[in-house]
Structure 1
Amino acid sequence: MSSPRLKIGLYASLVMAIFVLASYKLYQRNDATAPQKDDVLIKVMLSGLNIAHYQPEKIDDTFSKRVFDLYLKRIDVNKKFLLKSDVAQLSKYQSDIDDQVKRGSHEFLDMSTQLMDQRVKDIQALYRDILTKPFDFTVEEKMETDPEKMVFPADKAAQREDWRKFLKYRTLVQMSEIIDEQAKRTGKGNLAASTANSATLTTNEPNRTPEQMEAEARKRVLKYYDDQFRDLLQTDANDRLAMYANVVANTYDPHTEYFAPRDKDNFDQAMTGRFEGIGASLQEKDGQIKVADIIPGSASYRQGELKAGDIITRVGQGAEVPVSVEGMRLDKAIVLIKGKKGTEVRLTVKKSDGSTKIIPIIRDVVIIEDTYAQSATINENGKKYGYIKLPSFYADFNDNGGRSSAGDVKKELEKLQKENIQGLVLDLRFNGGGSLTDAVEMAGLFIDSGPVVQVRSRQGAATVLNDRDPRVQYTGPLVVLVNKFSASASEILAAAIQDYKRGIVMGSTSTYGKGTVQRIFDLDDALPAEFNSIKPFGSLKLTTQKFYRINGGSTQFKGVMSDIVLPDPYSYLDQGEKESEYPLKWDEIAPARYKTWADAPNVAKLTAASQKRVATDPRFKLMSEMVQRMVQRKNDTSVSLKLTTYKAEQDKAKIESDKFEAAQKAAATINISALATDIQAQGSDTIKVNRAVRFVKPLRKDMTLREAVLVIQDEA
Structure 2
Amino acid sequence: MNAILTYMKRNYKLLLVIVALAVAFWSFIPKEKNDPEKDKLLLELLTFVIERGHYSPTAMDDQFSKGVYKDYITSLDPSKRFFMQSDIDEFAKFETQLDDQIKNKDLSFFDLTYNRLMQRIEESKKYYKLILDKPFNYKVDEEFNTDYEKLPYANNPTDLHEKWRKQIKLSTLSSLTDKQKFEEDKKNGAIALKSKKDLALETDKKTDISEPKSFEQLEKETRASSLKSLDEYFGFIDDLNRDDWFSVYINSIASRFDPHTSYFAPEEKERFDVSMSGKLEGIGARLQKKNDFTEITELISGGPAWRGKELEPGDVVLKVAQGKSEPVDVVGMRLDDVVKKIKGPKGTEVRLTVKKADGTIKVITLIRDEIEIEETYLKSSIVEKNGLKYGVIYLPKFYIDFENQDSRDAGKDMTIEVERLKKEGVKGIILDVRDDGGGSLKTVVDIAGLFIEQGPIVQIKSAAGKKEVLYDRDKKIQWDGPLVIMVNSFSASASEILAAAIQDYKRGIIIGSKQTYGKGTVQNVIDLNQFVRKNSMGDLGALKTTTQKFYRINGGSTQLEGVSSDVVMPDRYSYAKMGERDVDNAMPWDKIDAADYTVWNRQNNFASAIANSKKRMSLNKQFQLIDENAKWINERSEENLYSLRIDKFKAEQLSLEEKAKKYKAIIDYQNQLKFSSLPYESEGMKNDVTLKEKRERWHESLAKDIYVEEAINVLDDLQTKPVVKGTVNLKKKEKLVKS
Interval of TM-score (by shorter of Structure 1 and Structure 2): 0.7 to 0.9
Q: For 1:25, what is the secondary structure of its paired residue?
A: coil
Aligned to 1:627: 630
Aligned to 2:361: none
Aligned residue pair count:
638
Aligned residues of 2:51 and 2:57 also touching (Cα < 8 A):
yes
How much does 1:541 deviate? 2.0
The amino acid across from 1:535 in the alignment is: G
Aligned to 1:356: none
Distance 1:537 1:107 in 2: 21
Change in 2 beyond 3 A, CA 1:174/1:526? same
Aligned to 1:352: none
Distance 1:94 1:664 in 2: 47
Distance 2:356 2:676 in 1: 32
How much does 1:692 deviate? 6.5
Aligned residues of 1:387 and 1:426 also touching (Cα < 8 A):
yes
Q: For 2:636, what is the secondary structure of its paired residue?
A: helix
The TM-score, its normalising length taken from structure 1, stands at 0.78
Distance 1:23 1:177 in 2: 63
Q: Which runs of 5+ in 1 are unaligned?
A: 191-201, 281-293, 300-315, 320-329, 346-364
Matched, 1:210 2:212: no
Distance 2:520 2:355 in 1: 39
Aligned residues of 2:277 and 2:402 also touching (Cα < 8 A):
no
Matched, 1:15 2:18: no
Distance 1:574 1:547 in 2: 23
Change in 2 beyond 3 A, CA 1:18/1:89? same
Aligned to 2:437: 432
Distance 1:537 1:421 in 2: 50
Q: Which runs of 5+ in 2 are unaligned?
A: 192-206, 289-297, 304-312, 317-333, 344-351, 358-369, 721-739
Change in 2 beyond 3 A, CA 1:272/1:603? closer
- What are the Cα deviations for residues 308-352 of structure 1, in whole angstroms up to 9, with x where unaligned? xxxxxxxx9699xxxxxxxxxx988998xx99999999xxxxxxx
Change in 2 beyond 3 A, CA 1:422/1:669? same
Aligned residues of 1:405 and 1:438 also touching (Cα < 8 A):
yes
Distance 1:540 1:612 in 2: 48
How much does 1:568 deviate? 1.5
Aligned to 2:25: 25
Matched, 1:115 2:120: no
Distance 1:373 1:128 in 2: 47
For residues 226-625 of structure 1, the aligned pairs below 5 Å read 226-232=231-237, 235-271=240-276, 273-274=278-279, 276-277=284-285, 368=373, 371-529=376-534, 531-532=535-536, 534-571=537-574, 574-580=577-583, 582-599=585-602, 601=604, 605-625=608-628
Change in 2 beyond 3 A, CA 1:240/1:378? closer
Aligned to 1:355: none
Q: For 2:490, what is the secondary structure of its paired residue?
A: coil
How much does 1:253 deviate? 2.1
How much does 1:707 deviate? 0.9
Aligned residues of 1:485 and 1:512 also touching (Cα < 8 A):
yes
Aligned residues of 2:26 and 2:531 also touching (Cα < 8 A):
no
Higher RCO (C-alpha 8 Å, min separation 6)? 2
Q: For 1:552, what is the secondary structure of its paired residue?
A: coil
The amino acid across from 1:463 in the alignment is: E
How much does 1:605 deviate? 4.2
Change in 2 beyond 3 A, CA 1:660/1:52? same
How much does 1:107 deviate? 2.1
Aligned residues of 1:445 and 1:474 also touching (Cα < 8 A):
yes
Aligned residues of 1:396 and 1:404 also touching (Cα < 8 A):
yes
Distance 1:114 1:23 in 2: 34
Distance 2:228 2:694 in 1: 41
Distance 1:130 1:695 in 2: 43
Change in 2 beyond 3 A, CA 1:535/1:424? closer
Aligned residues of 2:5 and 2:439 also touching (Cα < 8 A):
no
Distance 1:342 1:572 in 2: 49
Aligned to 2:364: none
The amino acid across from 1:22 in the alignment is: A
Distance 1:341 1:389 in 2: 39
Aligned residues of 2:278 and 2:376 also touching (Cα < 8 A):
no
How much does 1:59 deviate? 2.0
Q: Which moves more between the two structures, 129-138 or 104-113?
A: 129-138
How much does 1:513 deviate? 2.2
Change in 2 beyond 3 A, CA 1:403/1:26? closer
The TM-score, its normalising length taken from structure 2, stands at 0.76
Distance 2:371 2:646 in 1: 42
Distance 1:618 1:222 in 2: 45
The amino acid across from 1:706 in the alignment is: E
Distance 2:685 2:160 in 1: 66
Q: For 1:562, what is the secondary structure of its paired residue?
A: coil
Distance 1:632 1:642 in 2: 23
Q: For 1:246, what is the secondary structure of its paired residue?
A: helix
Q: For 1:406, what is the secondary structure of its paired residue?
A: helix
How much does 1:46 deviate? 0.7
Change in 2 beyond 3 A, CA 1:213/1:150? same
Matched, 1:705 2:704: no
Distance 1:266 1:655 in 2: 43
Change in 2 beyond 3 A, CA 1:141/1:706? same
Distance 1:629 1:613 in 2: 23
Distance 1:206 1:594 in 2: 73
Aligned residues of 2:276 and 2:439 also touching (Cα < 8 A):
no
Change in 2 beyond 3 A, CA 1:663/1:227? closer
Change in 2 beyond 3 A, CA 1:667/1:16? same
How much does 1:410 deviate? 2.9
Distance 1:418 1:445 in 2: 16
How much does 1:265 deviate? 4.0
The amino acid across from 1:520 in the alignment is: V
Q: Which moves more between the two structures, 136-145 or 123-132?
A: 123-132
How much does 1:70 deviate? 0.8
How much does 1:597 deviate? 2.0
Distance 1:470 1:714 in 2: 28
How much does 1:566 deviate? 0.8
Change in 2 beyond 3 A, CA 1:470/1:123? same
Q: For 1:594, what is the secondary structure of its paired residue?
A: strand
Change in 2 beyond 3 A, CA 1:603/1:656? farther
Change in 2 beyond 3 A, CA 1:162/1:251? same
How much does 1:269 deviate? 4.7
Matched, 1:40 2:41: yes
- What are the Cα deviations for residues 488-511 of structure 1, in whole angstroms up to 9, with x where unaligned? 221111100111111210011122
Matched, 1:643 2:646: yes
Distance 1:232 1:666 in 2: 41
Change in 2 beyond 3 A, CA 1:510/1:443? same
Matched, 1:147 2:148: yes
Distance 2:21 2:226 in 1: 52
Aligned residues of 1:495 and 1:560 also touching (Cα < 8 A):
yes
How much does 1:628 deviate? 2.4
Distance 2:405 2:233 in 1: 44
Aligned residues of 1:384 and 1:420 also touching (Cα < 8 A):
yes
The amino acid across from 2:22 in the alignment is: A
- What are the Cα deviations for residues 97-136 of structure 1, in whole angstroms up to 9, with x where unaligned? 1112233322211222233233333333334444444322
Change in 2 beyond 3 A, CA 1:694/1:159? closer
Distance 1:6 1:559 in 2: 19
Distance 1:513 1:84 in 2: 37
CA RMSD in angstroms, aligned pairs only? 4.2
Aligned to 1:678: 680
The amino acid across from 2:550 in the alignment is: F
Change in 2 beyond 3 A, CA 1:431/1:226? closer
Aligned to 2:80: 79
